[in-house]
Amino acid sequence: FEGLIVDKPYEAGLGWDAGRYKAENLGWRLNIDTAEFRVGGNTLDFTILDKQGMPLEGAETSLGISRPSTRTYDATYKPVRMDAGRFRTSVELPLPGRWEVIISISRGSDRIVLSSEVFAEQASP
């Protein structure tokens, strides 16, 4: 554990609160469609849902992967749109355990960040 990994925690907290409030108002939600992750290369499928629970039309995304305890393995990916609101990308998870999936979403002038945790199992021998 590297200790504090947020440079300005108070400002980051304010930004997080503002982003959460905006996400609640927009009603956008993130659904990770991939059920299992293993150490190594993985296909990550996800859907962005609108306020009515339908795939969000016209969304653009970028995706980051991060370990909660370190910045060492942080990586950024550009997902490919598969269908309205549905995206896919290949991600590398070099260690077993918890990973945070951080997705930046934009549509028109609206921009938010949503996140979800996934767990990578040790690869089978």
pTM score of the predicted model: 0.83
Going by C-alpha positions, the residue among 6, 114, 116, 125 that lies closest to residue 50 is: 114
pLDDT computed for residue 92 by the predictor: 96
User: Does 58 have pLDDT greater than 70?
Assistant: yes
**Residue 44 φ/ψ, nearest 5 degrees:** -110, 115
Task: Check whether 65 has a pLDDT greater than 50.
Answer: yes
Q: What angle do CA 122, 124, 125 make, to 5 degrees?
A: 120
- Among the listed residues 67, 110, 106, the one whose alpha carbon sits nearest the alpha carbon of residue 87: 106
Q: What is the pLDDT of residue 9?
A: 67
Q: Which helix (H) or strand (E) holds 77?
A: strand 70-77
- Measure the CA–CA gap between 60 and 45, rounded to whole angstroms: 14
pLDDT at position 2 is: 47
Q: Where are the alpha helices (DSSP H) in the chain?
A: 9-26
The one-character DSSP state at 53 is S
Cβ neighbours, 10 Å, residue 48? 23
Q: Tell me: the pLDDT tens digits for 105-123?
A: 999 999 999 999 999 999 7
CA gap 100, 35 in Å, rounded: 15
